[in-house]
Amino acid sequence: MAEFVTLDVTDGIGTIRIARPPVNALDLQTHRELVAAAREADGNAEVRAVIVYGGEKVFAAGDDIKEMASFSPGQAALLAGDVQTALGCIATIGKPTVAAISGYALGGGLEVALGADRRIIGDNVKLGLPEILLGVIPAGGGTQRLVRLIGPSKAKDLIYTGRFVGPEEALAIGLVDEVVAPDEVYNAARKWAAQFVNGPARALAAAKAAIDGGLAGDLASGLDIERREFSALFGTNDVEIGMRSFLAEGPGRAKFTGE
């Protein structure tokens, strides 16, 4: 049974909750539990959208530095792949995902949030990748996902300096998508996720695969992925439902089954 990370499913929305007091520092056990929760959410047909949440006080204030400080060079080399897998696991969920961020999302905590499709924060949140201040660099995908999200110049500034970013700047540079009152973070995430509960699950997964797969290669490769994903959808029930509904009633009235 998981000790620090749980998956709760309510009304088609899965909430992956990180709870390792006092600040949700991400140790190796938490890494393993995050991966397990992400896989469970991805494989559970009842889950149509996913929220990753650290609670009302803090999302995750970073890696467990006490544990990390004990790594030898050999251990660091062996564990680096596991760290990337764990902190990037939200990105592997083939469903709409949103990070609901309270308090702080630093280091590995921000890397977890970078794997989500959307990030919603409270207006008192601090974000950052301060690993450089420890003499290391982000190892959970931060040097790659942050660049793709906000561009190389802004990403280099944040990674080189290790400085914290407040809500106003985070929104301006595209690091986050929505800023709300601190006590509305989770509710805002559920409101966004709820849009997809009765949506065409296969088409949403295809759209995500095409977008994310395209980002990993050149335009021609991305267009090839798009063609494959588009064509495969014509064997689904939701395409029949969607087309039939459109022809009879116009757009936006289809009642999809997710199949």
Q: How far is CA 44 from the centre of its chain?
A: 17
Q: What is the CA radius of gyration of the chain?
A: 19
Instruction: Tell me, yes or no, whether 85 and 106 share the same domain.
Output: yes
- Of 41-55, 74-88, 101-115, 163-177, which range is least confident? 74-88
Instruction: Tell me, yes or no, whether 177 and 213 share the same domain.
Output: no
Q: How confident is the model at residue 258 (pLDDT cuts 50, 70, 90)?
A: confident
Mean pLDDT of 89-109: 97
Q: CB burial class (10 A; 0-12, 13-18, 19+) of residue 98?
A: buried
For 232-256, what is each residue's pLDDT tens digit? 999 899 988 888 988 898 888 888 8
In a domain, 256, yes or no: no
In a domain, 40, yes or no: yes
- CATH number for 80: 3.90.226.10
115 pLDDT higher than 90: yes
Instruction: Tell me, yes or no, whether 13 and 58 share the same domain.
Output: yes
Instruction: Tell me, yes or no, whether 181 and 64 share the same domain.
Output: yes
87 pLDDT higher than 90: yes
Of residues 238 and 65, the one with the higher pLDDT is 238
Q: How many whole angstroms separate alpha carbon 204 and alpha carbon 221? A: 20
Instruction: Tell me, yes or no, whether 206 and 189 share the same domain.
Output: no
For 134-181, what is each residue's pLDDT tens digit? 999 999 999 999 999 999 999 999 999 999 999 999 999 999 999 999
Instruction: Tell me, yes or no, whether 69 and 92 share the same domain.
Output: yes
Half-sphere exposure at residue 24, Cβ-oriented, CA atoms within 13 angstroms: 28
Instruction: Tell me, yes or no, whether 178 and 236 share the same domain.
Output: no
- CATH number for 244: 1.10.12
In a domain, 259, yes or no: no
131 a catalytic residue: yes
Instruction: Tell me, yes or no, whether 174 and 227 share the same domain.
Output: no
In a domain, 87, yes or no: yes
Q: Tell me, what's the pLDDT at 138?
A: 94
Mean pLDDT of 216-221: 91
User: Which residues make Cβ contacts (< 8 Å) with residue 252, sequence separation at least 6?
Assistant: none
In a domain, 257, yes or no: no
Of residues 258 and 199, the one with the higher pLDDT is 199
Q: Tell me, what's the pLDDT at 143?
A: 96
Count how many domains the chain has: 2
Beta carbons within 10 angstroms of residue 65's beta carbon: 13
Q: Rounded to two decimals, what is the model's pTM?
A: 0.94
Q: How many whole angstroms separate alpha carbon 139 and alpha carbon 84? A: 6
Q: How many whole angstroms separate alpha carbon 244 and alpha carbon 246? A: 5
- Average pLDDT across the chain, whole number: 94
In three state form, how does the secondary structure of 108-120 look?
HHHHHHHCCCEEE
Q: How many whole angstroms separate alpha carbon 81 and alpha carbon 84? A: 5
Instruction: Tell me, yes or no, whether 125 and 207 share the same domain.
Output: no
Q: Tell me, what's the pLDDT at 2?
A: 87
1 pLDDT higher than 80: no
Q: Tell me, what's the pLDDT at 195?
A: 96
Is residue 19 a contact partner of residue 37, using CB atoms and an 8 Å limit? no
Catalytic residue among 131, 169, 184, 249: 131
In a domain, 258, yes or no: no
Q: How confident is the model at residue 66 (pLDDT cuts 50, 70, 90)?
A: confident
Pick from 124, 115, 139: which is nearest to 170 by CA?
A: 124
Q: How many whole angstroms separate alpha carbon 163 and alpha carbon 130? A: 6
Is residue 57 a contact partner of residue 102, using CB atoms and an 8 Å limit? yes
Instruction: Tell me, yes or no, whether 187 and 205 share the same domain.
Output: no
Instruction: Tell me, yes or no, whether 173 and 233 share the same domain.
Output: no
Q: Tell me, what's the pLDDT at 153?
A: 98
Catalytic residue among 111, 168, 184, 229: 111
Q: Tell me, what's the pLDDT at 81?
A: 86
Domain span at residue 242? 201-249
Q: How confident is the model at residue 45 (pLDDT cuts 50, 70, 90)?
A: very high
Q: Tell me, what's the pLDDT at 235?
A: 85
182 pLDDT higher than 80: yes
Question: Tokens at residue 103, please?
Answer: 């308090």
Of residues 75 and 192, the one with the higher pLDDT is 192
Q: How many whole angstroms separate alpha carbon 113 and alpha carbon 101? A: 8
Is residue 207 a contact partner of residue 200, using CB atoms and an 8 Å limit? no
| % of the chain at pLDDT higher than 90 | 81
